[in-house]
Amino acid sequence: MDTKSDNQKLNELNNTCSQKNRLDILREEIDKIDKELLPLFLKRMDLCSSVADYKRSVGKPVLDSEREKQVLKSKMDLLTDKSRENEVYEFFTAIMSISRDRQTRELSRDKGRKRIEDMLNPKPHIQNPRIVFYGVKGSYSEEAAIKYFGAESNRTNADSFEAAFLSLKNNKSDYAVLPIENSNTGTIVDVMDLLEKYGYFIIGEVDIPIRHCLMGVKGSKVSDIKYIYSHEQGIMQSSGFLKTLGNDIICREYYSTAKSAEKVANDNNPVQAAIAGKQNAEIYGLDILAEDINNSDKNTTRFIVVSVNSEIDVMCNKISAAFTLPHESGELHRVLACFAHGDLNLLKLESRPLDNKNFEYMFFVDYTGNLLDEKVRQITNNVIEGTGEFKLLGNYKIKE
């Protein structure tokens, strides 16, 4: 662009200000430039969609950091007035961010639709399956596995949530039973994150009432206790009782409630106690020092049954999903309107902040419906269109 002619033009504008408000004239010039920019911007976005198509076909990720660095450098190299570098850098950084978001949304929508296709290609329920549950013998997860599959089911345990998913991945187990939500403390986000990571399916659910007890070695008393072990959920769910013990008690988070009981039994130290289910006292030979210590007598944990494959059938009536939204006003309302207009009941809506993204959230939603129904599929596709990322987690039967 010719700098001299630009300066002359600006001088001419200043000279006409006596006849017309200067601000109005400057705004008119900005509007003219914006009018020229708009079709170019839209053309750039269309090209970004073509780039997304290519990345989809070859399996490339949206973010190409080296390419973005090259683009920014090339724009800086075009500048003759280096004092404008920061402005130009921010301008093109914003444009590339918008472009990247568009590509992410388009690829995510494709994944969301593909996920529906995968869910509509179910496998039959496995007879005499191998079950993996989180924790050790006596855990609430094992209790959930017994309630869902029966006392004679073939069960093994996993020391961590991810170990249970790896057991499925390595074909050592057919189903995993994992806690997903507590009525007092909310969603167990680590399990939700692993569902997203591995792409497996929720095929069932079961509720287990939580009745925590404080237990110690034979002959110990509450007054002896200095250290209490439990899973972080067990500690949070018993916070009211723990406050009555005074400030000298040290609570230590451990792998699971049942694993905590096992540790106390193995250490055989009268100053240690565990918060765990009543059955663990019998399993590990401990004395119950206090019963029903959880904050609420209606404390319940929902467990999910996870499989590598979908098992959708006509009896399934609950859908679980996770999604993000464009960072724009009214987007959540528009998505929720899809459910309302389609007469689908929302059973749960929960959000949590996204890592490294200020004021952006992942939303978890449960709603009624069966994806074998064309109407439900259409409503779900409408939701996908209005979201940033959409991850279908399962379509299964509501617990009885």
Check 161, 165, 301, 364 and give the catalytic one. Answer: 301
How far, in Å, CA of 323 to CA of 359, rounded? 15
Please state whether 258 falls in left (phi above 0), alpha (psi between -120 and 50) or beta.
Answer: alpha
Task: Give the Cα-Cα-Cα angle 47, 54, 44 (nearest 5 degrees).
Answer: 10
Q: In the annotation, is 301 catalytic?
A: yes
Per the annotation, the verdict on 185 as an active-site residue is: no
- Is residue 114 within 8 A of residue 121, CB to CB? The reply is no
Query: Which structure tokens are listed for 60?
Result: 């490339």
What CA–CA distance (Å, rounded) separates 251 from 271?
A: 12
Which residues, 6+ apart, have CB-to-CB distance to 253 below 8 Å? 229, 230, 231, 232, 235
Query: Rounded CA gap, 250 and 271, in Å?
Result: 11
Residues 6 or more apart whose CB falls under 8 angstroms from that of 78 comprise none
Structure letter (DSSP) for residue 400: -
- The span from the CA of 167 to the CA of 156, in Å, is 10
Contact in structure between 318 and 396 (CB atoms under 8 Å): yes
Q: Output the DSSP codes for 158-223.
A: ESSHHHHHHHHHTTS-SEEEEEEEETTTEE-HHHHHHHHHH--EEEEEEEEE--EEEEESTT--GG
Catalytic residue among 133, 149, 303, 390: 303
Cβ-contact 16, 8 below 8 angstroms? no
Q: Is the dihedral of CA 199, 204, 205, 206 positive or negative?
A: negative
User: Which strand (E) or helix (H) includes residue 318?
Assistant: strand 318-324
| Residues assigned a catalytic role | 301, 303
